[in-house]
Structure 1
Amino acid sequence: MPDTFITIKTLDMDARGVGHLVNEDGSQGKVIFVEGALPGERVSFLSFKKKKNWEAGRMTGMRGQASSMRVTPRCRHFDVCGGCSMQHLDPSAQVAMKQRVLEDNLAHIGKVRAENIMRPMYGPTWDYRYRARLSVRHVAKKETVLVGFHERASSFVADIVTCEILPDHVAAMLVPLRELIVMLSIYDQLPQIEVAIGEGLTVLAARIMAPLTAADAVLMRAFADRWNIQWWLQTKGPETAVPYYPIGPELYYTLPEFGIKMPFKPVDFTQVNHHINRVLVGKALRLLDVQPDDRVADLFCGLGNFTLPLATQAREVVGIEGSSALTSRALDNAKANGLSEKTSFQTRNLFEVTAGHLVALGRFDRMLIDPPRDGAVALAEALAALSTSHPDLMPKRIVYVSCSPSTLARDADILVHQAGYVLKKAGVVNMFPHTSHVESIAVFDLP
């Protein structure tokens, strides 16, 4: 049976080429999503998922000329590993695609359009990933252990020996890690390793399901000495992670523009791309345009990534987070940076916040929102209710940092059409090059 070829018209949010089959009468048939295909290319494909109105598949061949946006993937494992999905697309085209995704989501989900589209924020496109969760899998048939990311759309661990988005010194450890784990007594009870890189220190946090033996300890310590890393061990949830060897050095990253040193644990949420995080924090604060007499709220504050820089500019900053452990450590970070007099932290479930809660917090001149992928719909609805009940308490400017364009658009709909804000600016942040992940930032003003 001859291959079926389709013409790719566009890319979807996962960087898959989108085309259509042609029916026998010449009409447009079902939509096909093709991994590895780019707009303008005529490709054949192998389907791995079929539904009534669409199919998903992988490109198997091409007829005619390749897209001008196509580049040769740098990583030898690109076709198998799920760590990246866009290395075949020119980096500038990747960012343009993410900008289109953001604008389309704002228009179609939020029914809003930014008055100004900001230039994208760029950074290094290789060796940028300073945090990663590596899966570990013992493969009995091959009598080996695999360490890396999952295969594409699979629960299997990819058989990789290097990685182009991890810093070189971490990529160089992938094979030695496999060799180490094979020698451990718990080779089949170590499901993952968290990688966390700070200033001058790399930590590997091993999730272990059984205790180490004395022989295991000797091997682990020798590995740490050879590769200049620090081991942490995690026996259950993230709260059980503790330093193992060597004891002493502390993980931290810096925000030099603001003179901030931020300690963190390897299992904490921190941005994976330190360079872009510095750019993002600086940009967010410039957009927020904090004045010396302003009282500012930092919602979903985490360890204080935005809170502490804000405290160098504002009269008072209140950081709010859902975890008391995080707010306690954020306060410790504020004290360590000499900013505790201008900061305070509260523990509150921001997914259940109401207008009454905002009234109790008092008036904020400006607000920074940095939620997880679920977004901040309850907060947006609370601000909408506040605009009616206590309009004098509304912050005059909001900067919203988002890791999901769809939830940003949903919340923008509420902020603009119910709370009365104007979407002044929006733009993308290329926090995760070569992936389809879209980080973005938006500015909302009261008219």
Structure 2
Amino acid sequence: MSKRRRKSLPSEPVQCVVEKLSHDGRGIAYREGKIQFVDGALPGETVTAKVVGSRSKFDELRTLEVLEAAPDRVTPPCDFADLCGGCSLQHMAGDTQIEFKEKTLREHFAHFGGIAPEQWEAPMRSPALAYRRKARLGVRFVPKRDSVLVGFREKRNSFLADITRCEVLDPRIGDRITELRELLYTLEAHNSIPQIEIACGDDAAALVFRNMDPLSASDYGSLVEYGKSRDLHIYLQPKGPETVHRIWPEQGEERLSYRLPDFDLTLKFHPMDFTQVNADINQKMVKRALEWLDVQPGDRVLDLFCGLGNFTLPLARQAKQVVGVEGDESMVVRGRENADLNGLDNVSFHAANLQGDFTSEPWAKEGFDRILIDPPRSGAEEICHYLAAFGARRIVYVSCNPATLARDAGVLVSNGYRLVRAGVMDMFPHTTHVESIALFERGKG
């Protein structure tokens, strides 16, 4: 049987009139009745674009030239915005980015749950540059260039973008991309380090180098010296995540930390732990969540998917008792460490499977007055069916995926809760990522 021939793509640029924006931030146009997804184009614009992919129902294009610009088009703050896949909306004005994200949340509520909040909260914003404290950077030696690349992947392909700095990363790392490229080029292991994990706390930043092969004494010394000279913590990861270990500084606890000053708290974390990428938004988010929960001194509060205690410990400053539950045992340990660090004895942390009915667990039998839930992108549909059994007056749901928030909101509403307030939080400026928060109250308003 002969192989199907791959359809050749048009070699000449095509002209597109962009009508609207997709949820992933691409312009949508139509050509000969077929959908055109155009990277780098905004609604109302006329652009010339190159076809880079084709499917039966749509084509994928990349903007080459803007012939008629939209009023909300701006010059990207980063020189590599058109190439690097780390950001997708730098060509869009900040106010318009927020409007786009709120519109996305509204549409998901309408589509998945057929509901809307009684009140929309004003979007939560922060500085749009130098905000990102967690990231994974790819590393690749390119023999043809005799150079090492360090950065994010290019838009919609597997190649690493050739960048020399990153405007959205914490400057302790973002301003040092060129340095890292030069450092890695000098190593004997320049072809066997595929990635660097980045983690930044308030007072220190860490780099975790994934070394596929054992490092020579010379390479080891070079990384240590780089950490010393730049005041950076240096880690190696020879195999799985459990092998991550610090090589500089040589002494002291392997922890970074961040503060929540509104609650007089310091939280410590390992560089491989999950923490929020945007410290400014995180502080505002925690404050808003507690304000919406309206925790009273006699309340018993449940924090689901609690992690290392980002919400749990602030809740413990206000409630009689707080129970934090997490599926990852290592994060439960971290939560307990942070409770001890901050002198809190009215909080307990538990590991549990959060994919089913946990109402019979010993820590759950007394019920709860307030519930906070901050699930992963997959949401918590199954859990939401059980939350009504606790009798909580209020539930605050923090979400990183508007589709699963809308779906789960429908479950909570069907179980006797009202969607009272909701709003977006710009955790990831210049990207299409939509972080949001919603308040549910039991019974009639």
1:390-401 mapped onto 2 (5 Å cutoff): 393-401=390-398
Residue 172 of structure 2 contacts residue 205 of structure 2 at CA under 8 Å; is this kept in 1? Answer: no
Is 2:89–2:432's contact at 8 Å kept on the other side of the alignment? yes
**Corresponding residue number in structure 2 for 1:405:** 402
- Structure 1 counterpart SS, 2:113: coil
Distance 2:381 2:362 in 1: 14
Specify the SS of the correspondent of 2:424. Answer: strand
Which whole-Å deviations, capped at 9, do the CAs of 1:244-296 have from their partners, x for residues lacking one? 11133641000000011000011111011111100110111101110000000
**Which residue does 2:20 correspond to in 1?**
10
**Is 2:182 the counterpart of 1:179?**
yes
Per the alignment, residue 441 of structure 1 pairs with: 437
Distance (whole Å) between structure 2 residues aligned to residue 268 and residue 153 of structure 1: 28
SS of 2:162's equivalent in the other structure is coil
Cα pair 2:305 2:375 within 8 Å, conserved? yes
Q: 1:146–1:157: 8 Å Cα contact kept in structure 2?
A: yes
Matched length:
431
What is the CA–CA distance in structure 2 between the aligned matches of 1:49 and 1:188, rounded to whole Å?
31
**Per the alignment, in what secondary structure is the counterpart of residue 146 of structure 1?**
strand
| 1:127 has 2:124 as partner | no
Q: 1:62 to 1:221 in 2, by over 3 A?
A: closer
Which residue is 1:425 aligned to? 421
Q: Please tell me whether residue 272 in structure 1 is matched to residue 277 in structure 2.
A: yes
Q: Which residue of 2 aligns with 1:52?
A: 56
Q: Does 1:218 align with 2:221?
A: yes
Check conservation: 2:41, 2:47, Cα contact below 8 A. Answer: yes
Bigger shift: 40-49 or 81-90? 40-49
TM-score (norm 2): 0.93
Distance in 2 between residues matched to 1:292 and 1:383, nearest whole Å = 22
**Displacement after TM superposition at 1:359 (Å):** 9.3
Q: d(CA) in 2 for partners of 1:227 and 1:442?
A: 41
The whole-number CA distance in structure 2 between the counterparts of 1:113 and 1:17 is 26
Moved over 3 A (4+): 1-4, 353-361
Give the one of 66, 75, 79 matched to 2:78. Answer: 75
8 Å contact from structure 1 (residues 310, 317) kept in 2: yes
Q: Which amino acid aligns with 1:396?
A: R
Query: Which amino acid in structure 2 is aligned with residue 379 of structure 1?
Result: I
**Map of 1:92-103 to 2, 5 A cutoff?**
92-103=95-106
1:369 aligns with 2:373: yes
- SS state at 1:226 partner: helix
**What aligned pairs does 1:43-442 form with structure 2 within 5 A after superposition?**
43-63=47-67, 65-247=68-250, 248=252, 250-339=255-344, 341-357=345-361, 360-383=364-387, 386=389, 393-417=390-414, 419-442=415-438
Please give the root-mean-square deviation of Cα atoms over the aligned residues, in Å: 1.6
1:54: how far off?
Answer: 1.7
How much does 1:49 deviate?
Answer: 2.1
One-letter identity of the residue aligned with 1:241:
V
- AA matched with 2:58: W
Q: What letter matches 1:11 in structure 2?
A: L
Stretches of structure 1 lacking an aligned partner (at least 5 in a row):
24-28, 387-392
Change (3 A) 1:353 1:225: same
The CA distance in 1 between the partners of 2:257 and 2:364, in whole Å, is 34
> Structure 1 2/208 Cα, relative in aligned 2: closer, same or farther at 3 Å?
closer
Q: Comparing 204-213 with 294-303, which one deviates more in the overlay?
A: 204-213
Q: CA deviation at 1:9?
A: 1.6
1:389 is matched with none
Gaps of 5+ in 2: 1-10
Q: CA separation in 1, counterparts of 2:138 and 2:430?
A: 20
SS of the equivalent of 1:428 reads strand
- What is the deviation of 1:167? 2.5
Counterpart for residue 8 of structure 2: none
Query: Which position in structure 2 is the counterpart of 1:390?
Result: none
SS of the counterpart of 1:297?
A: strand
Aligned partner letter, 2:351: T
* 1:358–1:382 Cα contact (<8 Å) kept: no
Q: Is the 8 A contact 1:193 1:204 kept in 2?
A: yes
Checking the alignment, whether the CA contact within 8 Å between 1:354 and 1:378 is kept in structure 2 is no
Identity %: 45
Instruction: State the Cα distance separating 1:360 from its structure 2 match.
Output: 4.5
Separation in 2, partners of 1:354, 1:154: 42
Distance 2:141 2:366 in 1: 55
1:307/1:32 CA distance change after superposition, 3 Å: same
Q: Deviations over 1:336-380 (max 9, x none)?
A: 1001x2001111111233554599533100000001111111111
Deviations 1:193-240, CA, capped at 9 Å, x for gaps = 111111221111111112221111221122112211110111222222
CA distance in 2, matches of 1:355, 1:227: 50
State whether residues 398 and 443 of structure 1, in contact with CA within 8 Å, keep that contact through their aligned partners in structure 2.
Answer: yes
Q: 1:203 touches 1:229 (CA, 8 Å); kept in 2?
A: yes
Q: Helix, strand or coil: the match of 1:426? A: strand
Counterpart of 1:5, as a letter, is Q
